[in-house]
Amino acid sequence: MCNFQAKGISGNNYNRTPLTPRSRLERLLRERELRKSSRYVQPAEEGNKEAEQLCSDSCINENEKGEQFFNEEEVSDASRAFAEEQPFKQRLLVVANRLPVSAIREGVDSYDLELSVGGLVSALLGVKEFDTRWIGWPGVNVPDDVGQEALTKALAEMRCIPVFLDEEIVNQYYNGYCNNILWPLFHYLGLPHEDRLATTRSFQTQFDAYKKANQMFADVVYKYYEEGDIVWCHDYHLMFLPKCLKEYNNKIKVGWFLHTPFPSSELHRTLPSRSELLRAVLAADLVGFHTYDYARHFVSACTRILGLEGTPDGVEDQGKLTRVAAFPIGIDSDRFIRALELPEVQERMKELKERFAGRKVMLGIDRLDMIKGIPQKILAFEQFLEENPHWHDKVVLLQIAVPTRTDVPEYQKLTSQVHEIVGRINGRFGTLTAVPIHHLDRSLDFHALCALYAVTDVALVTSLRDGMNLVSYEFVACQASKKGVLILSEFAGAAQSLGAGALLVNPWNITEVAASIGYALDMPADEREKRHQFNFKHVTTHTSQEWAATFVSELNDTIVEAQLRTRQVPPILPNNVAVDCYSKANNRLIILGFNATLTEPVDALGRGGQIRELELQLHPNLKEPLKKLSDDPKTTIVVLSGSSRDVLDKNFGEFNMWLAAENGMFLRLTTGEWMTTMPEHVAMDWVDSVKHVFEYFTERTPRSHFELRETSVIWNYKYADIEFGRLQARDLLQHLWTGPISNASLDVVQGARSVEVRAVGVSKGAAIDRILGEIVHHKGMKAPIDYVLCIGHFLAKDEDVYKFFEPDLLFGSAPMAGAILTNSYRPSTLPKSSSSRSASVSKAFRFKKQRSLSIIERREIEHASGDPWKSWRPSDRMSMHEGSSVLDLKGDNYFSCAVGRKRSSARYLLKTSDDVVDLLGDLADHSSSRST
């Protein structure tokens, strides 16, 4: 016998009961409290003045450059507090398209570094809990080795690590695929329409550059990676990075966060590389978005486009779960609140109040971009002035529009359009001393911005589509005394967080926005107070520090959760061990499923998959191995399937094997006739009523189908719209339970995308003992079965066939046969043996299945009355000395394998039917031909 334990290979351990871990929520709550109790409060220092000079207009650059800045304060990290270890500083590798500094070359080997401006820069100023390294493109082309070495050394002092990209890569990857394809698509602007054919041809070139750039980022990350590091990938520039990192090392902790909206699945599916990008992101352990809507769209895209399973926790693919969650970003609110007390800010506030004395101040701060809705905002303000003449000369709109991409024609056109509208309105409603709109094409420094926020009465954010837009957060943080009103677009991510305190508007509805302006200007003081307090509490509690700490905390816990799940996942089958044990065995039994086990993988079927899957056909590469195996006199093969008898006859009629159709309810040797193993008194009068229900839902659900079998009825919606199919399945189940099967003895078996109704007790495991009994009777076995291989892609209910051979599930003993089956598979009739097998046999005596007798069993009963066991004559089949036990199975010689399912009660896994082909091919090479 084989002993693979000595070789360091083991299957599922059925006896081990792991300690029940804390729940995920309990772990996260505990860590949250520990993090709060150990929070480091940093006083205002001179060292922060340079950082405070950064423009904090988060929305201006949050989607354009992905630039970031980090703080280097040494703070204990509590991200693993749940493990009750000493607090330590966890290394965090933040990977973004751009570094938080701009490099200017001054000589051959010298650079001048300046802090960059960006949305994430200000968002992460308050994060002090991690030992952070920043990895990204320095924004400058450095083709020579001397320059690269000098820049790397200079950046290292700021804990930055450069990724050097040449001009061609930058043009194709950043300007091309990122900004020309992904950015417009994610903001609902669609793909480029000009010169469609040429654009389509360029997609692949740009996508290839995109993948190459992501691989270059991964190379740098892996060079500096240390075990235990967290790698936090940011934004749409690096969607391929999680996949690249996991290919290097599957144990790297990888998180990915998107700072833009994620479009609906219907829009995302127009992208030619849609599937590759989704699968690359799913390689991450945790995927984060600003809002639940974006997360929902991502999960929907994965289910509709990739056909994966969406769960409340994320997306599941073959047992591997990628967590998907919403993490609304925040700001360092204390920085803005403290800034209001600075003398220079107070002085600017005084100047602004004097400048606009007697007038209400409305403020708009945006990047000059199509998605910011600046023209719509100004037109709404014009309509407000038209409808409210009494507000003329009493209100002013200050619009700060920061220019971006000034060399792009679309942006030049937008700039001209805005200037034209502003000029027209000022000419129409302005006077010699005042104009209603002050428009600036420039950015403001931090102190001027804080002063402007503080004196504003109404902030107007009318984004047509925005990832988050932190201008609204910054405005609220500076309104402690003024308590101004926030008018916020419902299409900005911030609407999900500040919606209760803000006035939400549809920016496309000019009339609605104009009315909201009037309502905001006339709002009573008590209502302004309540709205402001709600928003202020949210902004000051959901800070950038909390955002980062929460994301890393969730990522750490996702790893813990994945480890707990992995303990329940069987290992991959060691083919060499299975083949070695097979070659040494004298009487082998191989039990095979059919669909998704002996058929071609679904992915290989292409767009004709549905039709080809409905007509199940044996994998073409399996014919020769099955022929060799079935001709081996030491090997017995059973194909145990839920398919009908006709399907099995068509595919396996040429082989010398046993066919068990409809979950084992019908059985035949390919050279014999079909017989039934169905327990007696199985009522089938329910079939017609269930059939009518399934017909109705098939008509209502496009691309679904149902199959009527002799012992079951199955409705399959695998190829239907996944969300609609689930809704229909829910209605179908509700109708079944309250209608045709409410009082019937039936099992309703739910697959991933199917519903099956079958009689109670109909399962592969329940039928296997009766099947084995008939096989033994027919073959007249004299040598016990000492090797069992069971492979299948079975439903959870049918996985009892795996457990049938697992004795430790029944007896809590060392691995041995779960059932010792004899001539008529009645263990109570077996005599005790004095051989080495007696201990196993005696334990098996206690293994008695409670079931009805099948027709096969009944034909062995000679008398209709009395004890049927007494009437059985073992000499009818074989003498008790010739084969007292059917199974003499050591645990090492039992191999149960689930195909394509990671959560299984089987001992081992095989990924696809291609792996089954390889395994059976190896077994066939160790088989001998049948002599007669």
In Å, what is the CA distance from 293 to each residue of 183, 290, 328, 384, 508? 18, 9, 11, 32, 20
Give me the amino acid identity at 796.
A
In Å, what is the CA distance from 156 to each residue of 73, 116, 201, 491? 16, 16, 40, 40
Residue 117's pLDDT is 59
Residue 3's pLDDT is 53
In Å, what is the CA distance from 450 to each residue of 332, 478, 497? 13, 7, 22
pLDDT of 874 > 90? The answer is: no
CA distance 517 to 528: 14
CA distance 845 to 832: 9
Task: Name the residue with higher pLDDT: 739 or 545.
Answer: 545
- Least confident range from 600-609, 729-738, 793-802, 912-921: namely 600-609
Sign of torsion over alpha carbons 646, 650, 654, 660:
negative
In Å, what is the CA distance from 787 to each residue of 573, 577, 590, 776, 798? 15, 12, 8, 15, 21
pLDDT of 553 > 50? The answer is: yes
Question: For residue range 894-911, what is the model confidence (pLDDT) as tens digits?
Answer: 999 999 876 788 899 998
Residue 105's pLDDT is 78
Find the angle CA(89)-CA(95)-CA(446) to the nearest 5 degrees.
85
Greatest mean pLDDT range, 39-43, 605-609, 805-809: 805-809
Question: For residue range 640-657, what is the model confidence (pLDDT) as tens digits?
Answer: 988 888 989 999 989 999
Buried b / exposed e across 726-753, counting CB within 10 Å, b at 16+?
Answer: eebbeebeeebeeebbeeeebeebebeb
pLDDT of 631 > 50? The answer is: yes
Residue 737's pLDDT is 80
Question: For residue range 803-849, what is the model confidence (pLDDT) as tens digits?
Answer: 888 755 433 333 333 333 333 333 322 233 333 333 333 333 233 33
- Tell me the mean pLDDT in the region 532-537: 94
Question: For residue range 369-419, what is the model confidence (pLDDT) as tens digits?
Answer: 999 999 999 999 999 999 999 999 999 999 999 888 777 788 889 999 999
| pLDDT, averaged across the chain | 79
Work out the pLDDT band at 571, boundaries 50, 70, 90.
confident
How many residues belong to the chain? Answer: 932
Strands (E), 218-333: 230-234, 253-257, 286-289, 309-311, 314-317, 320-326
- Least confident range from 67-71, 174-178, 500-504: namely 67-71
pLDDT of 196 > 80? The answer is: no
Residue 338's pLDDT is 93
Work out the pLDDT band at 120, boundaries 50, 70, 90.
low
Sign of torsion over alpha carbons 392, 397, 398, 400:
negative
Task: Name the residue with higher pLDDT: 11 or 177.
Answer: 177
- Tell me the mean pLDDT in the region 540-557: 89
Work out the pLDDT band at 126, boundaries 50, 70, 90.
low
- Least confident range from 36-45, 202-211, 510-519: namely 36-45
pLDDT of 855 > 60? The answer is: no
- Tell me the mean pLDDT in the region 333-354: 94
CA distance 126 to 136: 21
Residue 768's pLDDT is 83
**CA count, 13 A, side-chain hemisphere, 61:** 22
What tokens appear for 71 in the block?
């703080």
pLDDT of 858 > 80? The answer is: no
CA distance 22 to 793: 32
pLDDT of 66 > 70? The answer is: no
Share above pLDDT 90 across residues of the chain, in percent, rounded to a whole number = 42
